[in-house]
Amino acid sequence: MGNMLSAARARMHRAADKLDLAQETVERLDYPTETLAFSIPLRRDDGSLEQLKGWRCRYDSTLGPTKGGIRFHPSVCEDEVQTLAFLMTMKCALMGLPFGGGKGGVSVDAGDLSLMEKERVARGYVRSAARILSPDRDVPAPDVATGTREMAWMVDEYGALTGGIEPHAFTGKPVALGGIEGRTPATGRGGLLALEAMRESLGLDGSDGLSIALQGFGNAGTWFARAAVDAGHRVVAISDSSGMVSDAQGLDIDAVIEAKEKGGSVTDYDGGETSDDGSAIVEVECDVLVLAALGGVIADADDVGKLSCKAIVEIANRPILSAADEPLREAGIDVVPDILANGGGVTISHAEWVQGRTGLGWDAEEVDDYLQEKMEDAAEQVRDLMEDKGLDMRTAAYGVALRRLCAAISATGTAEDFGG
Ligand code: NAD
């Protein structure tokens, strides 16, 4: 087992230790059910042939078909794919969705691919992973460097392979191809709903607008920022891979989005202070630091020592590593954990899957209502367990997920049933 997965599992065991759960049910979640590793031959535009490495992991399907994105990034490896599939297992259980956890990826620099090369990788991925995929078995979605266009190529390739029309084999598709209104903003908007629902627990109660520093200004980050400003908060700093822009009075989000679209970076914003060093975002004085870019940003006590925020919202997957958990507790900085804060994306993927399965469309209002209901319900369950057992928010979130998973696992038989 890889180091990443064992560190992620340690958080699950921490929660299991605090709750009265049968050890054998928790141990069922220690290893992934299956991981398919494959090569994807890529014919480059210059005629050369390259072999890329790809993976698809179905971590656990106790609660339903496995669900999780496909990532194109040079750092993708088996350990990362399995760890992210483990997190999806916990997230789907916490959000009360009828899904297990899965994940996939290709080790490739998407920025180095032409559009046609990217299409070949997307279609090649489906050809290689087809034997593990199916709308009732394993349902992919977009992740880093994949989006609606890649899902359109993939659903098209999958249909060509199976000879069926199965739009619910993938989520995050374009609306024109069976996608759902509101899937793209769902992760960012859901992140804000989670923050609002947890304000009191974070010690940020009151109705005053919060000051927010935001790392990452892609899909999740931009929609979080829009929703935050609409709700009366101030986004005082934003970073992306090229640098950082800040203004203590609050940035004009629409203008930052426009500047990034035109110039390629948030530092093209005309106003506020700009810096080429985006990593300094974690040091910005603010109420809430929102991490919406990468994994492993706050890795240890040294990183925690640099923070000037009162609370953190993890919109990215595993931006805080477990070695930083104790230093954060000591520093009194509470964290809205990834499995809750970014659960809005898979929640609306569920709506899209239901839409494809039933053939009945959802309108934007129904999608928004479903997002709000699921985020608030999950947050309430976490708050109740925090109060009941005196747990921190991450441990309580794992606790809610584990209770659901373990109830389902026990339903298939326990030590007592078998005379143990
Ligand atoms: P994206 O590719 O659209 O955006 C990523 C952003 O991060 C970009 O603005 C990029 O410039 C920025 N970035 C990259 N390196 C950076 C650095 N060193 N410093 C600051 N910024 C940096 O991705 P996304 O869909 O917005 O996803 C962001 C994170 O949220 C990922 O970890 C993803 O797994 C997670 N997430 C996304 C969704 C979703 O529905 N989009 C759902 C759940 C989790």
Q: What is the DSSP secondary-structure string of 99-156?
A: -EEEEEEE-S-GGGS-HHHHHHHHHHHHHHHTTT-BTTTEEEEE-TT--HHHHHHHHH
The residue whose CA has the least distance to atom 14 of ligand 1 is: 241
Who contacts 281 (Cβ-Cβ below 8 Å, separation ≥6)? 213, 214, 215, 237, 238, 239, 244, 289
Who contacts 231 (Cβ-Cβ below 8 Å, separation ≥6)? 192, 196, 209
Do 176 and 200 reside in the same domain of the chain?
A: no
The residue whose CA has the least distance to atom 30 of ligand 1 is: 316
Alpha-carbon dihedral sign for residues 170, 176, 179, 182: positive
Write the CATH number for 53: 3.40.50.10860
The residue whose CA has the least distance to atom 32 of ligand 1 is: 316
Do 155 and 290 reside in the same domain of the chain?
A: no
> What's the pLDDT score for residue 1?
67
Do 227 and 313 reside in the same domain of the chain?
A: yes
**Which ligand 1 atom is nearest residue 295's CA?**
32
150-156 contacts at long range (C-beta below 8 A, 24 or more positions apart): 150/70, 150/72, 150/118, 150/122, 151/179, 152/177, 153/119, 153/122, 153/123, 154/70, 154/122, 154/123, 154/125, 154/126, 156/123
Q: What CA–CA distance (Å, rounded) separates 334 from 187?
A: 20
**Which ligand 1 atom is nearest residue 342's CA?**
43
**Residue 239 CA to ligand 1 centre (angstroms):** 11
CB 277 within 8 A of CB 299: no
**Residue 270 CA to ligand 1 centre (angstroms):** 23
> What's the pLDDT score for residue 208?
85
Q: What CA–CA distance (Å, rounded) separates 300 from 282?
A: 13
Do 169 and 226 reside in the same domain of the chain?
A: no
The residue whose CA has the least distance to atom 27 of ligand 1 is: 220
Do 170 and 292 reside in the same domain of the chain?
A: no
Do 242 and 135 reside in the same domain of the chain?
A: no
Query: Which of 70, 166, 47 lies closest to 121 in space, CA to CA?
Result: 70
β-sheet with 286-291: strand ranges across: 273-275, 243-246, 234-240, 211-215, 286-291, 309-314, 334-336
Question: Is 65 domain-assigned?
Answer: yes
Farthest-apart Cα atoms in the chain, separation: 71
Among the candidates 140, 159, 181, a domain finishes at 181
CB 135 within 8 A of CB 359: no
Do 105 and 245 reside in the same domain of the chain?
A: no
Among the candidates 158, 181, 204, a domain finishes at 181
Question: Is 404 domain-assigned?
Answer: no
> What's the pLDDT score for residue 20?
83
Residue to mutate, 4, 294, 352, ligand 1, most ligand atoms under 8 Å from C-beta = 294
Q: What CA–CA distance (Å, rounded) separates 23 from 374?
A: 29
Do 301 and 234 reside in the same domain of the chain?
A: yes
Do 241 and 220 reside in the same domain of the chain?
A: yes
Residue in 18, 53, 67, 103 annotated catalytic: 103
Q: What CA–CA distance (Å, rounded) separates 93 from 400?
A: 8
DSSP per residue, 266-315: GGG-SSSEEES-GGGGGGS-EEEEEE-S-S-SB-SHHHHHT--EEEEEE-
**Which ligand 1 atom is nearest residue 71's CA?**
34
Do 156 and 234 reside in the same domain of the chain?
A: no
Count of domains in the chain?
2
Question: Is 334 domain-assigned?
Answer: yes
DSSP per residue, 383-400: HHHHHHHT--HHHHHHHH
| Low-confidence stretches of the chain (pLDDT beneath 50) | none
Write the CATH number for 231: 3.40.50.720
Q: What CA–CA distance (Å, rounded) separates 29 from 410?
A: 12
The residue whose CA has the least distance to atom 29 of ligand 1 is: 316
Give the SS3 label for residue 166.
coil
Question: Is 107 domain-assigned?
Answer: yes
Do 236 and 128 reside in the same domain of the chain?
A: no
**Residue 97 CA to ligand 1 centre (angstroms):** 23
Residue to mutate, 95, 240, 339, ligand 1, most ligand atoms under 8 Å from C-beta = 240
Who contacts 171 (Cβ-Cβ below 8 Å, separation ≥6)? 67, 139, 140, 141, 151, 179, 180, 183, 349, 352, 353
The residue whose CA has the least distance to atom 1 of ligand 1 is: 218
**Which ligand 1 atom is nearest residue 343's CA?**
43
> What's the pLDDT score for residue 420?
64
Question: Is 15 domain-assigned?
Answer: no
Question: Is 26 domain-assigned?
Answer: no
Among the candidates 341, 367, 398, a domain finishes at 341
Residues spanned by the domain of 112: 33-181
Q: How many CA atoms lie within 13 A of 52 on its CB side?
A: 29
Q: Which two tokens stand for residue 144?
A: 């880093």
Query: Which of 188, 222, 219 lies closest to 344 in space, CA to CA?
Result: 188
* DSSP state at residue 177: G
**Residue 143 CA to ligand 1 centre (angstroms):** 8
**Residue 144 CA to ligand 1 centre (angstroms):** 6
Question: Is 98 domain-assigned?
Answer: yes
For the chain, the first-to-last Cα distance in angstroms comes to 29
> What's the pLDDT score for residue 24?
84
Q: Which two tokens stand for residue 219?
A: 């899909």
- CB count in 10 Å sphere of residue 264: 12
Do 272 and 222 reside in the same domain of the chain?
A: yes
Q: Which two tokens stand for residue 76?
A: 């993708």
Per the annotation, the verdict on 53 as an active-site residue is no
Question: Is 419 domain-assigned?
Answer: no
Ligand 1 pocket: which residues have CB below 6 Å? Answer: 143-145, 187, 215-221, 239-241, 278, 292-294, 315-317, 342, 345
Q: Which two tokens stand for residue 300?
A: 């240890």
> What's the pLDDT score for residue 417?
82
CB 397 within 8 A of CB 337: yes
